[in-house]
């Protein structure tokens, strides 16, 4: 098995981003061969080869772009000094390369299980999220279990514990992180009270504005399963770039808070 395939397999197993670049077509003279592969890992290292030199450098540069935007692309390289797609070499041939991202699934962290958390976990998994359920003992002013979870720019956090003390404690732990989404369950009064506590303690308005509270799109449902659907719908809306003005995130007020 090639070094590129081995590196890609390890990255996928460890839920790390990787980009596979495969030479799919060659015209004329080229240092690359059809089927040659190179993998770019999220830490900047690579494995395999597509011929080295300026061609490989150009391919890795485009792979880096794919690592950022997550989009597959068929790229063309002219092995000439000038002209369209030129990379500044004298071979005179042309190479086509398919660049394929392999990205870990988005992470959905549910803080608090219970009657809403468990159906949300099942729905989140079906929707393609890597779901982590963090059970919380009611009334705790800190959530040490959150400390063992790696938070990334592709993490979505749902705070649905059974009491406001735990919700506030969890919010304080994650509000300054790089996560894509933070949603907190509860009545409007409860949510505003918690946000005011954080405001008093010096959290900025920009930080507080990141919090979706009350949580969930206003779908009109009141059962735990319906509320879970409303929460997941909001998470997906944020994931797909729908902002609050397009999808009013008015929230569902659960009976338990």
Average pLDDT value for the chain = 88
For the chain, residues classed under CATH 3.40.50.720 are: 107-239
Q: What's the pLDDT tens digit per position in 40-58? A: 999 999 999 998 899 999 9
**214 prior amide bond cis, ω within 30:** yes
At residue 161, the pLDDT reads 86
| pTM flag (> 0.75) | no
Backbone φ, ψ for residue 146 (5° rounding): -70, -25
Is the confidence at residue 111, as pLDDT, over 50? Answer: yes
For the domain made up of 107-239, the CATH class stated in words is alpha beta
Instruction: Give one DSSP letter per residue of 162-188, joined into a string.
Output: SSHHHHHHHHHHHTTS--SEEEE-S-H
**Residue scoring higher pLDDT (31 or 102):** 102
DSSP-derived pairing of the beta strands 94-102 and 107-111: unpaired
Asked if residue 76 lies in contact with residue 94, where contact means CB atoms within 8 angstroms, the answer is yes
At residue 62, the pLDDT reads 95
Q: Give the pLDDT band (50/70/90) at residue 64.
A: very high
**Residue scoring higher pLDDT (187 or 249):** 187
Match 């002013």 to its residue by tokens: 141
Q: What's the pLDDT tens digit per position in 168-181? A: 989 999 999 999 99
Q: What is the DSSP letter of 137?
A: -
Is the confidence at residue 197, as pLDDT, over 90? Answer: yes
Q: In whole angstroms, give the CA distance from residue 227 to residue 50.
A: 50
At residue 254, the pLDDT reads 42
At residue 175, the pLDDT reads 93
Measuring CA to CA, how many Å separate 38 from each of 17, 70, 134, 160?
14, 17, 38, 43
**Residue scoring higher pLDDT (137 or 70):** 70
Is the confidence at residue 243, as pLDDT, over 90? Answer: no
**Coil, helix or strand for 77?**
strand
**Coil, helix or strand for 2?**
coil
Q: Give the pLDDT band (50/70/90) at residue 247.
A: very low
The pair of structure tokens assigned to 16 is 């790390």
Measuring CA to CA, how many Å separate 218 from each of 56, 59, 149, 229?
50, 46, 29, 10
Q: In whole angstroms, give the CA distance from residue 235 to residue 257.
A: 21
Is the confidence at residue 30, as pLDDT, over 90? Answer: no
Is the confidence at residue 255, as pLDDT, over 80? Answer: no
At residue 253, the pLDDT reads 43
Q: What's the pLDDT tens digit per position in 129-160? A: 999 998 776 666 567 677 778 888 899 999 99
């Amino acid at each position: 098995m090639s070094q590129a395939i081995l590196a890609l397999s390890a990255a996928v197993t460890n839920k790390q981003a990787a980009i596979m670049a495969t030479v799919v077509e060659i015209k004329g003279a080229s240092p690359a061969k059809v089927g040659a592969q190179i993998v770019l890992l999220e830490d900047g290292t690579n494995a395999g080869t597509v011929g080295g030199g300026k061609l490989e450098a150009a391919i890795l540069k485009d792979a880096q772009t794919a690592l950022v935007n997550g989009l597959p692309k068929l790229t063309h390289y002219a092995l000439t000094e000038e002209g369209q797609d030129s990379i500044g070499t004298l071979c005179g041939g042309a190479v086509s390369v398919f660049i394929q991202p392999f990205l870990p699934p988005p992470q959905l962290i549910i803080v608090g299980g219970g009657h809403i958390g468990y159906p949300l976990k099942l729905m989140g998994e079906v929707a393609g999220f890597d779901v982590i359920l963090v059970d919380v003992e009611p009334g705790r002013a800190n959530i040490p279990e959150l400390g063992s979870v790696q938070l990334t720019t592709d993490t979505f956090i749902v705070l649905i514990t059974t009491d406001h003390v735990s919700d506030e404690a969890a919010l304080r732990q994650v509000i300054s992180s790089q996560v894509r989404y933070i949603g907190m369950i509860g009545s409007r009064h409860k949510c505003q009270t918690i946000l005011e506590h954080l405001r008093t303690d010096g959290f900025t308005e920009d930080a507080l504005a990141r919090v979706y509270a009350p949580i969930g799109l206003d779908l009109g449902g009141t059962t735990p399963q319906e509320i879970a659907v409303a929460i997941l719908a909001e998470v997906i809306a944020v994931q797909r770039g729908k902002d609050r003005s397009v999808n009013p995130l008015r929230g569902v007020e659960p009976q338990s808070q």
